[in-house]
Amino acid sequence: MADQKKSGSGLGFFALLAGAAAGAAAMFFSDKDNREKAGDTLKKAEKTVAEIKSEIKKNPKAFARKVGKQGEKLAQKVVKEVSKEVKSAQKAAKVAKTKLPSKKAKIAVASTEVVKVVKAAKKVAKLTPR
């Protein structure tokens, strides 16, 4: 019984998600303003794609260099931001490690040191003749 396969392959869940997405799209596009905004956005995207396509046809190598430079700039920006975050995290960790202990901890450390000094003094007193 434990070796039986699970019933269904997850297609029901996928169908549910697809139905929910279709319903959300239908609700969105039922409003005239939303349809107009979506149409405007689509026109802008088509214009941008046409410009990129013509730029690629003119000089594919130049376009590749341009995209490569943009990618390098973005990568450098990301590295710079990440290194800033890492440095601030390291600084915070360092401060957390070196932060002075609480007053009770200071007193406990001091009293232990006093006890050590007293014991050492007693040993020295026993060893020294009177």
DSSP 30-63: TSHHHHHHHHHHHHHHHHHHHHHHHHHHH-HHHH
**Three-class SS of residue 19?**
helix
Buried b (16+ CB within 10 A) or exposed e, 60-77: eeeeeeeeeeeeeeeeee
Q: How confident is the model at residue 97 (pLDDT cuts 50, 70, 90)?
A: low
**Which of 55, 73, 76, 51 has the alpha carbon at shortest distance from 64?**
55
Give CA–CA dist 72/13, Å, rounded.
41
pLDDT of residue 71: 86
Tell me the helix, strand and coil percentages in the chain, rounded to 5: 85, 0, 15
pLDDT above 80: residue 43: yes
**What pLDDT, in 10s, does the model give residues 56-89?**
899 989 988 988 888 888 888 888 888 777 777 7
pLDDT of residue 58: 92
Q: How confident is the model at residue 9 (pLDDT cuts 50, 70, 90)?
A: low
pLDDT of residue 129: 54
pLDDT of residue 102: 67
pLDDT above 60: residue 4: no
Task: Give the start-to-end residue ranges of the domains of the chain.
Answer: 15-58, 61-99, 101-130
pLDDT above 60: residue 117: yes
pLDDT of residue 24: 85
pLDDT of residue 1: 46
User: Cα separations (Å) of 30 from 39, 44, 60, 99, 109?
Assistant: 13, 22, 42, 60, 73
